[in-house]
Amino acid sequence: MTISSSADELAELRGAVRDFLSAKSGEHQVRSAIETQRGYDDALWEQMAGQLSLPALALPAQYGGDGFSFVELQVVLGEMGRFLVPGPFLPSVVLAAGAILAVGDDAAARAHLPGIASGKTTATLAVAEATGEWSFDRLSASAWPGDGGWLVSGTKQFVLHGGTADLIVVAAHTGQGPGFFAVGGDAPGLTRTALRTLDLTRPMATLRLEAVPATLIGAAGAAGPALESVLSRWNWPRRPPPRPRAPCPARRTPRRRPWPRRWRTRSAPSPSCSLPWRTSRYTAGSGSPGSTRPICTSAAQSPRS
């Protein structure tokens, strides 16, 4: 059963989290935390889990959570973003726990979610690979049945807190389609390499798996709808945004308001002009010093008088 809160209760929750983080996660504390080996303050994480019970807030009660809804979780995440709190809250509570719940595997939920709710287990979700896409269109990691379980091989990129997570939920292809697999942070065959990131409060890592023992979460091929459920709640981008292209100077949209007559330069080329465009500086008396405008080198085009 999910518990919903009134507007006053949400305001009280927001105020309590804000007061706590303003005292515990100021600028100096954040800078000190990101310089540690784990990339966050263990003491602060324990207080968030023990005193405020934030990791358990939106997890179901039967799995050790408090049973609140996604609305309360958004309030907490908003305040964490306000104070740039470095910690594994997003990958553990939102991504990894959300993926386990979306699959609907009760055994896996009972095995992993109580540790996440108590803060004793940090987790993450490993989906993206070389292209950086959060989709299964180009998924190359594979899994196959082994002796007593499954084995997973592949390379995962841009894994949030992947260098320190105790539990890694890995997406890999099976014979029936993509599936989620639980991999321990100390599993044999797992190599974790930290990446240099622009946002130091969100450490990432590259994970290389070579026949790593894993446990299937849910059914083989059930990861597709589960990932869509997790990402759709946040409107998470599946693919990196395209790089903006610089406009060609010769194809700029002309100004609507004409320039003063003394600033006008050569006219645009006629359709019959086949000579290439070039950029030339204004000469004295024909324009503003140091400015450039595209002009045509055709002799047929003469400056306006």
27-47 tens-digit pLDDT? 999 999 999 999 999 999 999
The reported pTM is: 0.75
What pLDDT shows up at residue 259?
54
What pLDDT shows up at residue 148?
83
45-104 tens-digit pLDDT? 999 999 999 999 999 999 999 999 989 999 999 999 999 999 999 999 999 999 999 999
Where in the chain are the domains? 7-232
155-179 tens-digit pLDDT? 999 999 999 999 999 999 998 999 9
Q: Are 156 and 124 in contact (CB under 8 A)?
A: no
Fold type of domain 7-232: Butyryl-CoA Dehydrogenase, subunit A; domain 2 (2.40.110)
∠ CA 81-239-103, nearest 5°, is 75
Mean of per-residue pLDDT scores for the chain: 83
**What CA–CA distance (Å, rounded) separates 147 from 106?**
23
92-148 tens-digit pLDDT? 999 999 999 999 999 999 999 999 999 999 999 999 999 888 888 889 999 999 888
Burial class (CB in 10 A: 0-12, 13-18, 19+), 238: middle
